[in-house]
Amino acid sequence: MGDGNILTDLERSDENCILRFDDGKSYKLSYLSIRSRCQCAKCKPRQENEQRIIELEEEISRLMLEKPKVELVGRYGIRFEWPTGCSSGIHSFTHLRKVSEELGEQLD
Ligand SMILES: [Zn+2]
């Protein structure tokens, strides 16, 4: 059993995905939540305070969020390729775990 810093499985549905980590915990997380915490150069500065996060979330919620393509980046992260753009950010496993705990729903 690991310490939860490695993503072992990602199951994609139309509006959300299920992330499983190496400590056995699983979370259901919406694509909206993932995008609202996007780590790309354009989105990251927009999460520096509550007000900017709200604006970013509103903007994303107006997009058609389609099922993204996923690409593994080394052994530490994944890159989502969104049909609506914003695909350059790398989402490290530790970042995804943090977002999962903050915005996701923990599954049994
Ligand atoms: Zn972005």
- Residue 48: what pLDDT? 94
Residue 34: pLDDT above 90?
Answer: yes
Residues with CB under 5 A from ligand 1 (ion): 38, 40, 43, 86, 89
Report how far ligand 1's centroid is from the alpha carbon of 86 (Å).
Answer: 4
- Residue 19: what pLDDT? 98
What is the residue-averaged pLDDT of the chain? 92
pLDDT digits (tens, 9 = 90+) for 54-81: 999 999 989 877 889 999 999 999 999 9
Report how far ligand 1's centroid is from the alpha carbon of 1 (Å).
Answer: 32
Candidate from 1-10, 13-22, 38-47, 58-67 with smallest mean pLDDT: 58-67
CATH code assigned to 7-107: 3.30.2020.30
Domain spans of the chain, in order of start: 7-107
Report how far ligand 1's centroid is from the alpha carbon of 98 (Å).
Answer: 17
pLDDT digits (tens, 9 = 90+) for 45-57: 999 999 999 999 9
Report how far ligand 1's centroid is from the alpha carbon of 108 (Å).
Answer: 30
- Its pTM surpasses 0.85: yes
Do residues 76 and 51 make contact, with C-beta atoms less than 8 angstroms apart? no
Q: What angle do CA 64, 68, 73 make, to 5 degrees?
A: 145
How far is residue 100 CA from its own chain's centroid? 8
